[in-house]
Amino acid sequence: MIRVEGLWKSFDGQPVLRGLSLEVGTGEIMVVIGRSGGGKSVLLKHMLGLLHPDSGRIEVDGLDVARLRGAALDRVRERYGVVFQSGALFDSISVLDNVAFPLREKTRLPAAEVRARAEQQLAQVGLTGMSHKNPAEISGGMRKRVAIARALVTEPRIVFFDEPTTGLDPILVNAIHRLILDLHRRLEFTAVVISHEIPEIFSIADRVALLHEGVIVEEGSPEAILASANPVVGQFIRGEADASLLSAAMTHPGRHPA
Amino acid sequence: MRGSAAAGQPALPVRLLGALGGTTLDGLEHLGRFGRFFGEALLAVVVPPFKLGRLVERLHFIGFRSLVIVILTGGFTGMVLALQIFFTLSRFGSEAFLGPAVALSLLRELGPVLSALIVTGRAGSALTAEIGIMRITEQIDALVVMALDPRRYLVVPAIVAGMIAFPLMTAIFDVVGIFGGYLVGVHLLGLSPGTYFGEMQTFVDVEDVMTGVWKSLSFGVIVTWVCCYKGFHCGHGAQGVARATTQAVVLSSVLIVVWDYFLGSVLP
**What's the pLDDT tens digit per position in B182-201?**
999 999 999 999 999 998 98
* pLDDT tens figures, A119-176: 999 998 888 888 899 999 999 889 999 999 999 999 999 999 999 888 788 888 888 8
**Residue B147 to residue A102: CA distance in whole angstroms:** 9
A82, A86, A105 member nearest B137 (Cβ): A86
**Residue B75 to residue B68: CA distance in whole angstroms:** 11
Nearest to B204 by CA among B112, B102, B110, B111: B102
Given a cut of 80, whether residue A109 has pLDDT beyond it is: yes
Q: Which residues of B touch A (CB under 8 A)?
A: 137-139, 141-142, 144-148
**Distance (Å) from the alpha carbon of A154 to chain B's nearest alpha carbon:** 10
Given a cut of 50, whether residue B131 has pLDDT beyond it is: yes
Output DSSP code: residue A227. Answer: T
Q: β-strand A158-162 against A55-60: which pairing, if any?
A: unpaired
Output DSSP code: residue A91. Answer: T
What number of other Cβ atoms are within 10 A of residue A238's Cβ? 10
B137, B145, B148 member nearest A82 (Cβ): B145
Q: What pLDDT does residue A256 have?
A: 42
CB burial of residue A101 (10 Å; 0-12, 13-18, 19+): buried
Contact A50, A29 (CB under 8 A): no
Q: Angle CA(B85)–CA(B86)–CA(B91) in degrees, nearest 5?
A: 100
CB burial of residue A194 (10 Å; 0-12, 13-18, 19+): buried
A-B contacts (CB, under 8 Å): 40
Q: B153 to chain A: nearest residue by CA?
A: A105
Phi, psi (degrees; rounded to nearest 5) at A134: -90, 145
Secondary structure class of A87 (helix, strand, coil): coil
The mean pLDDT of chain B is: 93
Alpha helices in A57-138 (DSSP H): 70-77, 95-106, 111-124
**Residue A66 to residue A2: CA distance in whole angstroms:** 12
Beta-carbon separation of B137 and A88 below 8 A = yes
Q: What pLDDT does residue A258 have?
A: 36
* pLDDT tens figures, A12-47: 889 999 999 999 999 999 999 988 888 999 999 999
Mutation choice for A interface testing from B50, B145, B149, B152 by most A CBs within 10 A:
B145
Confidence label for A251 from pLDDT (cuts 50, 70 and 90): low
How far CA B29 is from CA of A12, B35, B89, in Å, comes to: 16, 10, 51
Question: What residues contact residue A252 under an 8 Å CB cut-off, 6+ apart?
Answer: none
Residues of A in contact with B141 (CB under 8 A): 48, 50, 84, 88
Q: B49 to chain A: nearest residue by CA?
A: A105
CB burial of residue B197 (10 Å; 0-12, 13-18, 19+): middle
Given a cut of 50, whether residue A1 has pLDDT beyond it is: yes
Q: What pLDDT does residue B7 have?
A: 55
Given a cut of 80, whether residue B149 has pLDDT beyond it is: yes
A80 reaches B (C-beta below 8 A) = yes
Q: What pLDDT does residue A247 have?
A: 54
Confidence label for B5 from pLDDT (cuts 50, 70 and 90): very low
**Distance (Å) from the alpha carbon of A47 to chain B's nearest alpha carbon:** 10
A240 reaches B (C-beta below 8 A) = no
* pLDDT tens figures, A163-217: 988 878 888 888 889 989 989 998 899 999 998 888 888 889 999 999 999 999 9
Beta-carbon separation of B139 and A105 below 8 A = no
Beta-carbon separation of B139 and A91 below 8 A = yes
The mean pLDDT of chain A is: 88
Nearest to A58 by CA among A99, A17, A15, A93: A17
Q: What pLDDT does residue A241 have?
A: 54
Confidence label for A236 from pLDDT (cuts 50, 70 and 90): confident
Average pLDDT over every residue of B202-215: 94
Beta-carbon separation of A82 and B142 below 8 A = yes
Mutation choice for A interface testing from B26, B51, B61, B138 by most A CBs within 10 A:
B138
Question: What residues contact residue B96 under an 8 Å CB cut-off, 6+ apart?
Answer: B191, B195, B199
Interface predicted TM-score of the whole assembly (ipTM), two decimals: 0.88
How far CA B240 is from CA of A45, B23, B67, B158, B166, in Å, comes to: 21, 21, 30, 21, 28
* pLDDT tens figures, B174-183: 999 999 999 9
Confidence label for B135 from pLDDT (cuts 50, 70 and 90): very high
Q: What pLDDT does residue A168 have?
A: 81
Average pLDDT over every residue of B36-45: 90
